[in-house]
Amino acid sequence: MLAKADYFKPIDPALQNAEFIAVPSGGFWRDVWDRFKVNKRAFVGLVVLTVIVLTAMIGPFVSPYAYDGMGTEINAGMSLKHIFGTDALGRDLFTRSLYGVRISLMVGFLTTFINMFLGVIYGGIAGYVGGRTDMLMMRIVDVIYAVPSLLYIILLMLIFGANVGSIMLGMCVSGWIGTSRMMRTQVIALKEREFALAAYTEGASAPRILFRHIFTNALGPLLVEATMAIPQAIFQEAFLSFIGMGISAPQASLGTLAQDARMYMTVYPNQMFCPVSVICIIIFALNFISEGLSEALDPTKRH
Amino acid sequence: MGEVTPVVKVRHLKKYFMANKRFLKPSDYVKAVDDVTFDIYPGETVGLVGESGCGKSTLARSIIRIYEPSAGKVVYNGTDITHLSNAKLWQYRNKMQMIFQDPYASLDPRYTVGEIIGEPMEIYKMYDKAGREAKVQELLEQVGLKPDHISRYPHEFSGGQRQRIGIARTLALDPDFILCDEPISALDVSIQAQIINLLEKLQDERGLSYLFIAHDLTMVRHISHKIGVMYLGHLVEFGDADEVYSNPLHPYTKALLSAAPIADPNTARSVNRIKLEGEVPSPIHTPEGCPFCTRCPECRPECRITPPVMANQNGHKAACYKYV
């Protein structure tokens, strides 16, 4: 039987005062990066996306084929010469895919960025100021939202012609509304929280409270929305190109490549498979990054 | 303290919230704070007691201008700050600070302790970056935390420690008046005493004035020099802490004090508990006369017609017809 004295052992005096000393904090974004890079999936996602973006940027200069250069080898399979094969006109699909990635990513990122930027500012002001201003601002939003976005795109194409620019502009006219509504509800909920009130009693200005305290706390849901908006924009561009209101031939986006391959899908599946898997990889990478980011932005979530 | 001027004078302060907006009819208002007048002197703690929903927190938030008062005024050291623009209010803001009730909600989870405590100094452009850091570490030590806690996040701390961080933040601007909006009600009893002792220590060292809001009557008596009792948005009694506790004037105060639990069961049995009938009236449709007239055991006919004014008995005031 144990003697009573053995129940508890005195702690080693060296450990007694071993207070955990934290590493010096290098500011908010530094901490976010530190938390982000330990998340394996998110980090892999970031690496994959970076590789795709770099390949799309550099690739066309290195590639021996032009995106619209036709050749004699039509409907070739995948080989070392033509990595993704060629299409019915003998164009190298890998080179075309690289151009497609450029256009798709540009449409996805740029429209999402513009929509987020406008939506956060508009919704932030409406929610923070409140009252009549809020009422008026949200009714304006309702009016803009009442017109289908396809109509804006068609109208803009009449003016600026069928190109990537007018597609993006058309997507931005009403695309920011979802974000602004979401930001508004976030602001209304967060501005009554005690940390926002504390910042107010400290003499913080309205923009400081809005962007330093409310925006950073609303970033999680906003980022989730943004990462869902990027693939959505990529798909919308593909759809518009298909119905003949987007990128016109011989230019290519990942969407048009998939649409072109539709006819030969059973005979030459590589023509469909290759651009679609590029879309899939991009979207997977984006989702992993967004998941990692929303965790990294919230210091209370640790692995 | 006849010669000393009050740090904060509250005069006929009212805060009404619009409850129901009606078309072509006058709207309903929630009378959260109705005609409250009192003074807070330097180095003094004024305790504010009253049941939930009686307007204590609204009063505190109206004093510090989180809410715009509907009527009346708040005077800080001789300056009427009730209607100052935000830009002008800025030079008084640093002198009035607030400790919040919930230490889990009052610290922004996205920032480190150093950034949270340093923010007010950053806003008021006090010191450079290194100077602020040194000051934050000094403040952390003053409130009983370790200087190397500076780079941690709020969620790594316990409730009591978080409240200490909140206190350090209010001290960063070197205020002379601090509103404590139920700073201890979210903490457990052993921690409550620590926080109270810390507040008292800081008061001795810095000559702070407190407006201390709490539910716990014994704790309020312990820390306060003066006590205000609120009922349905009205201040019904105000006086020296011991005076109010040993000789309550207003019938509501009597009932409230008799409801406070007593640790000794023998004494507790001998105390005559005053049981009030009915419910607190809705703050939208308040009684015409005295706010307490619907439940008061000593109600007289005149109580139901016009509200009583504050009667002063050697500095101990009560709003009741018994003393007019």
- For residue range B98-122, list pLDDT tens digits in order: 999 888 889 988 888 999 999 999 8
Q: Measured between alpha carbons, how far is A233 from A248 in angstroms, rounded to an integer? A: 18
Among B61, B123, B148, whose Cβ lies nearest the Cβ of A203?
B123
Burial of B10 per CB tally in 10 Å (0-12, 13-18, 19+)? buried
Count how many residues are written for chain B. 324
State the pLDDT at residue A176: 92
Q: Report yes or no: B212 and B185 within 8 Å, Cβ to Cβ.
A: no
Q: Using CB atoms, pick whichever of A24, A198, A298 lies closest to residue B106.
A: A198
CB contact under 8 A, B93 and A197: no
Taking residues B145-173, what's their average pLDDT?
89
A164-183 pLDDT, tens per residue? 888 888 889 988 999 999 99
pLDDT at A94: 87
What was the pLDDT predicted at B285?
83
By Cβ distance, the residue of B96, B98, B108 closest to A195 is B108
Q: Does B173 touch chain A (CB under 8 A)?
A: yes
Any CB–CB contact under 8 A between B111 and chain A? yes
Helix axes A131-146, A93-129, angle to 10 degrees: 150
- pLDDT tens-digit series, residues B180-193: 998 888 888 888 88
Of B93, B105, B108, the CB nearest to A201: B93
The pLDDT of residue A117 is 94
Distance in angstroms (rounded) separating the CA atoms of residues B100 and A198: 8
Is the CB of A198 less than 8 angstroms away from the CB of B98? yes
Lowest mean pLDDT among A67-81, B11-25, B64-78: A67-81
**Min Cα–Cα distance to chain A from B292, Å:** 31
- With CA atoms as reference, the chain A residue closest to B92 would be A203
pLDDT, position B1? 45
* Structural contact between residues B253 and B270, judged by C-beta atoms closer than 8 angstroms: no
- Which one of A194, A223, A297, A301 makes the best mutation probe of the B interface by having the most chain B beta carbons within 10 Å? A194
Residues of B whose CB is below 8 A from A298? 109-110
B300 CB contacts (<8 Å, ≥6 apart)?
A: B321
What does the alpha-carbon distance between residue B123 and residue B111 come to, in Å, rounded to a whole number? 15
List, for residues A25-37, the tens digit of each pLDDT value: 556 677 778 888 8
Phi, then psi, of B25 in degrees rounded to 5: -135, 155
Q: Do B115 and A298 touch (CB under 8 A)?
A: no
B35-39, B41-45, B81-85 — which is least confidently predicted? B81-85
A187 touches A128 (CB < 8 A) = yes
Question: How far separated are the first and last CA of chain A, in Å rounded?
Answer: 42
Average pLDDT value for residue range A142-166 = 86
Mean pLDDT of B24-36: 84
Residue A185: its pLDDT value, please?
93
Confidence check on the interface: ipTM exceeds 0.85, yes or no: no
**Per-residue model confidence (pLDDT) at position A225:** 83
pLDDT given for residue A91 in this prediction: 85
Share of chain B above pLDDT 70, in %: 99
pLDDT at B270 over 80: no
Which residue(s) pair with B317 in the sheet?
B238, B312
Mean pLDDT of B70-96: 87
Quote the CA–CA distance of B282 and B53 in Å, as a whole number.
10
CA angle B86, B88, B93 (to 5 degrees): 75
Question: How many A-B residue pairs are in contact by the CB < 8 A criterion?
Answer: 84
What is the radius of gyration, based on Cα positions, of chain A? 26
3-state class of B153 per DSSP? coil
pLDDT of residue A120 exceeding 90: yes
Under 8 Å between Cβ of B223 and B200: yes
pLDDT of residue A303: 44
Region A125-129: mean pLDDT is 93
Chain B residues whose beta carbon lies within 8 Å of the beta carbon of residue A199: 108, 119
Encoded tokens for A88: 């019915």
What's the CA gap between A37 and B115, in Å, rounded?
A: 23
pTM listed for this prediction:
0.78
Q: What is the pLDDT of residues A84-95, one digit of tens each?
A: 878 778 788 888
Q: What is the mean pLDDT of chain B?
A: 87
In this complex, the residue of B97, B148, B153 whose CB is nearest that of residue A201 is: B97
pLDDT in tens, A35-85: 888 889 999 999 999 999 999 888 888 777 877 777 777 777 777 777 787
Rounded CA-CA distance A303/B70 in Å is 49
